Structure 1
């Protein structure tokens, strides 16, 4: 058996979009091999390096990885962003991924390494622009702190050699119920206090959580897929268009802007860039591989989320 789709009904609401649950004998997604190997443990590499009989590592066909934390949180690793100067985020992302892979490589010979995907952040990789259009072959990853962070994360996740098929999915802002970006935006928009951030002219690369899961599944299942895929929706939108569309989905006006000075004061200069500047990111290779989006348009995606 491979992966299976599972719906978890919620009382009084429509069931959420499909989430993926790996079969222990085939692949796992994405947090744990049941109760044997926990990705969210304090030291996952040490668990990998334990004797195989203790961990019970199953033979896996493919492995998706996603390690990280919201870079807009005020605290990372128990300390404030200012106290760490961003170094803690580097540790939480690239160091943890490198440690995990070193342990797993020590536990399994190269001939048994599974096919794998990893997920990074497209909004940080490509340089902000009001006019440029970026696809998977566009340059980036070397112009500021966060672009370098994504580059180091992708490098840490890469296995050596060409014998293993590997895919990197650079995701946009993930929209879904119960947290994430929407968890911070819904209350002010429901109260009629929502609006564009800064000028609102910056592009807002987004994707519905169901489509992000779908792209990861597609990358795992389709043997012809390899390299970088942009995990963003095919229809682009500016921040102002996003605010108007979310307001319309909630039946509220969305005209109160959040000034740039306030964003910089709250989040600091480095993290404010993520909100005040944007990129038009196109999933050209994702579409070319044959993936078909369930939510290609912003309006339909937001209506499904807030329904």
Structure 2
């Protein structure tokens, strides 16, 4: 199968590309600049889809970039990098001479309202209560194409953990130095997934006939994981204590109150339809995931 991957040069994109190629698929990336095995977004807009059987969009500016001030200009960048790239791909897919076999969009569990008690499945409501939930709604709406000739799926990803990138890349050194700990109260849910499983769920959605609609991209154990649990398990995997919490006021000072919600609050999310669809997680529990990452 020939797969077109938007935003495929990032952390998750590299893992997905490696997995797809290991399974015998050809991969072409859509990025800002053309190059070997890639085309630009401008080229896609002008000329339409290159030869492919399926498409994925992973594109999106890093919301939690501490070097970017959370202002209107950066909000527009965050929206455009997700919604407009998805619109571009969806339009090209809809106008293609023959339907693709599958079209998969990766969004986020920010669709669901943060809560210390509620547990969400793919059927749970959301998408209408703050900037990030409305962003996910607009993002997913942009992916919809008319007709049923192409299977369409959405993977709502949790916090992605893995070697060399993702959320954990900025946490490892403080924890290695014994300076790590929970964020804020530590009581907030921590919806996580190993990068191999994000790639695995996307690959599963691409390859498996009958898989469509929303799949929650979170570990089966994540609905019972708090931020303090994560800090404790990461410290244990490194043989260090986890005694120094990061105060909520410091998080809000760096990221602003709107972004800080992503770190200081959380959602209990279960991958109900993901498991029912037949996907088997490589890293279903936190200790095994963290041992792989820190080894």
CA displacement 1:247-291 (0-9 Å, x = unmatched): 000000001101111111110011000000011100001011111
Give the conservation status (yes or no) of the 8 Å contact 1:233–1:297: yes
Partner of 1:11: none
Partner of 2:113: 127
Partner of 1:113: 100
Give the conservation status (yes or no) of the 8 Å contact 2:99–2:149: no
Find the structure with the greater CA-based Rg. Answer: 1
Residue 35 of structure 1: CA displacement?
2.9
Give the conservation status (yes or no) of the 8 Å contact 2:158–2:217: yes
CA displacement 1:37-62 (0-9 Å, x = unmatched): 42xx3xx1x3124457xx8x21x222
CA displacement 1:106-148 (0-9 Å, x = unmatched): 4x23x333411110011x1100001100000000010000000
CA displacement 1:197-242 (0-9 Å, x = unmatched): 0000000000001111111111111102110000000002000000
Quickly say closer, same or farther: Cα 1:192–1:75, change in 2 above 3 A. closer
Q: Does 1:186 align with 2:186?
A: no
What are the equivalent positions in structure 2 for 1:196-207 lying under 5 Å apart? 196-207=182-193
Residue 88 of structure 1: CA displacement?
2.1
Give the conservation status (yes or no) of the 8 Å contact 1:26–1:62: no
Structure 1 gaps of 5+ residues are 4-15
Taking the aligned partners of 2:93 and 2:16, their CA distance within structure 1 comes to 31
Partner of 1:8: none
Residue 22 of structure 1: CA displacement?
4.8
Give the conservation status (yes or no) of the 8 Å contact 2:66–2:254: no
Structure 2 residue matching 1:113: 3-state secondary structure:
coil
TM-score (norm 2): 0.87
Taking the aligned partners of 1:21 and 1:170, their CA distance within structure 2 comes to 20
What are the equivalent positions in structure 2 for 1:151-170 lying under 5 Å apart? 151-170=137-156
- Between stretches 285-294 and 93-102, larger displacement belongs to 93-102
Q: Does 1:48 align with 2:44?
A: yes
TM-score (norm 1): 0.83
Counting matched residue pairs gives 279
Structure 2 residue matching 1:255: 3-state secondary structure:
coil
Taking the aligned partners of 1:100 and 1:254, their CA distance within structure 2 comes to 44
Partner of 1:9: none
Residue 180 of structure 1: CA displacement?
1.5
Taking the aligned partners of 2:241 and 2:38, their CA distance within structure 1 comes to 47
Residue among 94, 98, 115 paired with 2:87 = 98
Partner of 2:10: none
What are the equivalent positions in structure 2 for 1:46-85 lying under 5 Å apart? 46-51=42-47, 57-58=50-51, 60-74=52-66, 80-82=69-71, 84=73
Structure 1 residue matching 2:211: 3-state secondary structure:
coil
Structure 1 residue matching 2:71: 3-state secondary structure:
helix
